[in-house]
Amino acid sequence: MSKMRYSRRNILKGGAAAVTASAFPAPMIWAQDIKNVVLRQAGTGVSAFNEVAAKVKEDLGFTLEMTALDSDAVTQRAATQPDSYDIADIEYWICKKVWPTGNLQAMDISKIKNYDKIAGTFRDGKLTPDSVIAQGTAPHTVGFVEGPGSTTFATQDSGWMTLIPTIYNADTLGIRPDLIGRPIESWAELLNPEFKGKASILDISSIGIMDMAMVCEAMGEIQYADKGNMTQEEIDKTIGIFMEAKKNGQFRAFWKSFDESVNLMASGEVVIQSMWSPAITAVRAQGVPCVYQPLKEGYRSWGGGIGLSAGLTGLPLDAAYEYINWYLSGWVGGFLMRQGYYSAVPETSKLFMSEDEWGFWYEGKPAAGDIVSPSGTVIEKAGAVRDGGSFLDRMGKVACWNSVMDENQYMVRKWNEFIAA
């Protein structure tokens, strides 16, 4: 696929210009003024791509400096070092921890040009009108505040957002089908002694505890009232089950970074583990079989967005809003969706994907031709179907969201004991 296909300039030249013109408004700030702006973005490796920073420079004229950290490190920085960043690219469960510090500023949705196109999941929690909201920290529950300066989350759309949503996905277990050699259908398989020494779980407490809960519930060991808000007794029992498995040698490793999970799976050291969608893509790009396995109990989901430092004002603040509007205009969404993520504004992302790419990644259709990663590496051959199917198939089976519980401090202490044991 030619680079020209993804060029903003070339899309606007074509017949789609009238349709897409509103998606690419003229910058509010003159390029002469904005070119010297430098915005510092701290976030996880989920969406910290050099290609995005380069495209910002090309399209908007200013400099975006990205720092990629693991989830715990970015949480700590956002909560304790507000002068070290201008933009926080974080998940909603992190927002729940950071927002009460006052280090982020509420954002005026009237300045967000594609706000009405943002997926309903982020606005009222509903994927469809009939959707049941899953357990955990669903994005919309921490997505709004009452107004500027408020540290209290609003129960509905207030016109002021904590984060402008950008990305989300439904996560599950990654497996090496060539090394397992049989169907995997349940989260319970993570603790199957058959995979002793070949299993792994991610070492990020607010995410890992939800994977643990999915496993324990699937095993029939615990029936939670709310997986996303466990009691101390439920935390103890959940961690205890995994502590016993660890003592019995079930786990090869615990990972925090994208690269660690890829290396564990690609090498064959691990055959079943918690994984992220682009990590699956990266393993497949090496020619190694790897499946993002749909499981009968459903998915654990997460969502992320862009937050602005409370200290950001003047021209840099204007530039940050320019960046957000550019981010939602489609190029980044298409880039992310070609790695298996979902864009918070699918309508604009579709403009930067081929019909076949959109059909494969979003609609769950068989690929008409080879599916390539953003770098051009073939990751799926013609005829392949995305693991789990369409957007509605996958996001419609979300059982829980990454979560910050009322007993969060207790949970983190118990998690750290588990990792250290």
Q: What would the pLDDT profile of 131-179 be if each residue is shown by its tens digit?
A: 889 999 999 999 999 999 999 999 999 999 999 999 999 999 999 999 9
Helices (H), 81-204: 92-98, 120-123, 177-180
How far apart CA 68 and CA 85 sit, in angstroms, is 12
Token pair listed for 149: 């300066």
Residue 419 phi, psi dihedral angles, 5° rounding? -65, -40
Domain containing 264: what range? 173-297+386-420
- CA atoms within 13 A of residue 288's CA, in its CB half-sphere: 22
Are 136 and 404 within 8 A, CB to CB? no
Shared domain for 323 and 392, answered yes or no, is no
Shared domain for 111 and 215, answered yes or no, is no
Shared domain for 104 and 216, answered yes or no, is no
Shared domain for 148 and 192, answered yes or no, is no
Are 336 and 89 within 8 A, CB to CB? no
**199-213 burial code (b ≥16 CB/10 A, e <16):** bbbbbbbbbbbbbbb
Shared domain for 82 and 129, answered yes or no, is yes
The pLDDT of residue 17 is 34
- The answer as to whether 362 is a domain residue is no
Residue count of the chain: 421
Are 71 and 44 within 8 A, CB to CB? yes
Helices 408-420/205-218 angle, 10° precision:
80
- The answer as to whether 373 is a domain residue is no
- CA atoms within 13 A of residue 402's CA, in its CB half-sphere: 25
- The answer as to whether 245 is a domain residue is yes
Token pair listed for 329: 């205009």
* Amino acid (one-letter) located at 108: D
How far apart CA 66 and CA 314 sit, in angstroms, is 21
The pLDDT of residue 258 is 86
Token pair listed for 26: 């003229």
- The answer as to whether 38 is a domain residue is yes
Shared domain for 121 and 227, answered yes or no, is no
- The answer as to whether 404 is a domain residue is yes
Shared domain for 181 and 60, answered yes or no, is no
Burial of 290 (0-12, 13-18, 19+ CB in 10 A): buried
**341-361 burial code (b ≥16 CB/10 A, e <16):** bbbbbbbbbbbbbbebbbbbb
- Sheet strands side by side (includes 199-202): 251-255, 199-202, 272-274, 173-175, 291-293
Token pair listed for 307: 């937050």
The pLDDT of residue 125 is 93
Q: What is the CATH number of the domain that holds 101?
A: 3.40.190.10
Bridge partners, 343 (sequence order): 167
Shared domain for 102 and 120, answered yes or no, is yes
How far from chain centre, in Å, is Cα 77? Answer: 19
Are 104 and 78 within 8 A, CB to CB? yes
Shared domain for 105 and 179, answered yes or no, is no
Number of folded domains that form the chain: 2
Ranges of the chain with pLDDT below 50 = 1-27
Indicate yes or no: pTM above 0.85.
Answer: yes
Residue with tokens 């060029």: 7
Shared domain for 179 and 278, answered yes or no, is yes
How far apart CA 122 and CA 258 sit, in angstroms, is 25
Strands (DSSP E) contained in 181-229 are 199-202
The dihedral over CA atoms of 82, 86, 92, 96, expressed in degrees to the nearest 10, equals: 20
The helix, strand and coil proportions of the chain, stated in percent and rounded to the nearest 5, come to 45, 20, 40
Token pair listed for 141: 């529950």
- The answer as to whether 380 is a domain residue is no
Bridge partners, 170 (sequence order): 301
Q: What would the pLDDT profile of 73-82 be if each residue is shown by its tens digit?
A: 999 999 999 9
3 state DSSP class of 257? coil
Rg (CA), the chain: 21
- Taken in order 402, 107, 166, 33, the sign of the CA dihedral is negative
